[in-house]
Amino acid sequence: MTSPPHSPGGSGQVVAFPSRAADQVGFERPELMRILDLYGRMVAAGEWRDYAMDFDRHAATFAAFRRAAERPQARVEKRPALRGKQGMWTLFGEHGQVLKRGHDLAGVLAPMERRLLKAVDD
């Protein structure tokens, strides 16, 4: 049972709630906006039709699907534990192969951006 932020006795004591930051990894607003911008353009090009997001203690994942019943056509994963090593961003292909890793989201999304340009040119 949790107590209210202010004690009912009027003593002015503030009770702190436990932080949820360590419970799961998430996307920051600019990161999510960049991913959703790409998703919207891929939908407009007819490449993707659905998406899913998953958040756990170790990673945040965005998966894009051509059809909801299939495996994801692309998956972007953010793993902060890898920040100091190969980069916290990873782009996976349809069969789980690593397409790109890096420290910068824009660079990791570049292969999908190029694919979008090819789809529009056709």
Helix (H) or strand (E) holding 92: strand 89-92
Q: Would you tell me how many other CB atoms lie within 10 Å of the CB of residue 59? A: 17
Which pLDDT band holds residue 21 (cuts at 50, 70, 90)? low
pLDDT in the model for residue 67: 79
Q: Using N-to-C axis directions, what is the helix angle for 29-44 and 105-121, rounded to 10°?
A: 10
Model confidence over 44-103: pLDDT tens digits?
988 899 999 999 999 999 999 987 677 899 999 999 988 888 889 999 998 889 999 999
Domain residue extents for the chain: 29-121
The CA distances from residue 69 to 13, 37, 117, in Å, are 52, 23, 26
Say how many CA atoms lie within 13 Å of 20 toward its Cβ.
Answer: 5
Question: Among the residues of 1-122, which ranges form H helices?
Answer: 29-44, 105-121
98 DSSP β-pair partners: 92
Q: How far apart are CA 16 and CA 63, in angstroms?
A: 35
Model confidence over 63-80: pLDDT tens digits?
999 876 778 999 999 999
pLDDT in the model for residue 122: 54
Which pLDDT band holds residue 115 (cuts at 50, 70, 90)? confident
pLDDT in the model for residue 70: 79
Answer whether residue 10 shows pLDDT above 60.
no
pLDDT in the model for residue 34: 95
The greatest distance separating any two alpha carbons of the chain, rounded to the nearest whole angstrom, comes to 70
pLDDT in the model for residue 113: 86
